[in-house]
Amino acid sequence: MAEPAQVPSLVYLVTGGCGFLGEHIVRMLLEREPRLRELRVFDLHLSPWLEELKTGPVQVTAIQGDVTQAHEVAAAVAGSHVVIHTAGLVDVFGKASPQTIHRVNVQGTQNVIEACMQTGTQFLIYTSSMEVVGPNVKGHPFYRGNEDTPYEAVHRHPYPCSKALAEQLVLEANGRKVNGGLPLVTCALRPTGIYGEGHQVMRDFYNQGLRFGGRLFRAIPASVEHGRVYVGNVAWMHVLVARELEQRAALMGGQVYFCYDKSPYKSYEDFNMEFLGPCGLRLIGTHPLLPYWLLVLLATLNALLQWLLRPLVLYTPLLNPYTLAVANTTFTVSTNKAQRHFGYKPLFSWEESKARTIQWVQALEGSAW
Ligand SMILES: NC(=O)c1ccc[n+]([C@@H]2O[C@H](COP(=O)([O-])OP(=O)(O)OC[C@H]3O[C@@H](n4cnc5c(N)ncnc54)[C@H](O)[C@@H]3O)[C@@H](O)[C@H]2O)c1
Ligand SMILES: CC(C)CCC[C@@H](C)[C@H]1CC[C@H]2[C@@H]3[C@H](O)C=C4C[C@@H](O)CC[C@]4(C)[C@H]3CC[C@]12C
Give tens-digit pLDDT for 63-102: 999 999 999 999 999 999 999 999 999 999 999 999 999 9
Active site annotation includes 260: no
Question: Structure pTM?
Answer: 0.97
Sorted by where each begins, the domain ranges of the chain are 10-200+226-264+332-349
Q: Which helix or strand (DSSP H or E) is residue 11 part of?
A: strand 10-15
Beta strand pairing status for 255-259 and 331-333? unpaired
Beta strand pairing status for 59-64 and 36-43? parallel
- 327: CA distance to ligand 2 center in Å? 6
- Give 151-174 pLDDT, tens digit per residue: 999 999 999 999 999 999 999 999
- Give 313-365 pLDDT, tens digit per residue: 999 999 999 999 999 999 999 999 999 999 999 999 999 999 999 999 999 96
Q: Give the residue, out of 21, 93, 107, with the most ligand 1 atoms within 8 A of its beta carbon, to mutate for a pocket test.
A: 21
Q: What's the CATH number for 10-200+226-264+332-349?
A: 3.40.50.720
- Give the residue, 6 or 281, on which the prediction is more confident: 281
3 pLDDT above the threshold of 80: no
**ipTM associated with this complex:** 0.98
Contact between 49 and 30 (Cβ < 8 Å): no
Identity at 102, one-letter amino acid code: H
Q: Alpha-carbon distance 341 to 200, whole Å?
A: 32
- 326: CA distance to ligand 2 center in Å? 7
**Three-state SS sequence of 61-117:** EEEECCCCCHHHHHHHHCCCCEEEECCCCCCCCCCCCHHHHHHHHHHHHHHHHHHHH
Please identify which of the residues 12, 126, 159, 322 carries the catalytic annotation: 159
Stated length of the chain: 369
> Residue 228's closest CA among 358, 94, 90, 353?
353
Q: Give the residue, out of 206, 326, 333, with the most ligand 2 atoms within 8 A of its beta carbon, to mutate for a pocket test.
A: 326
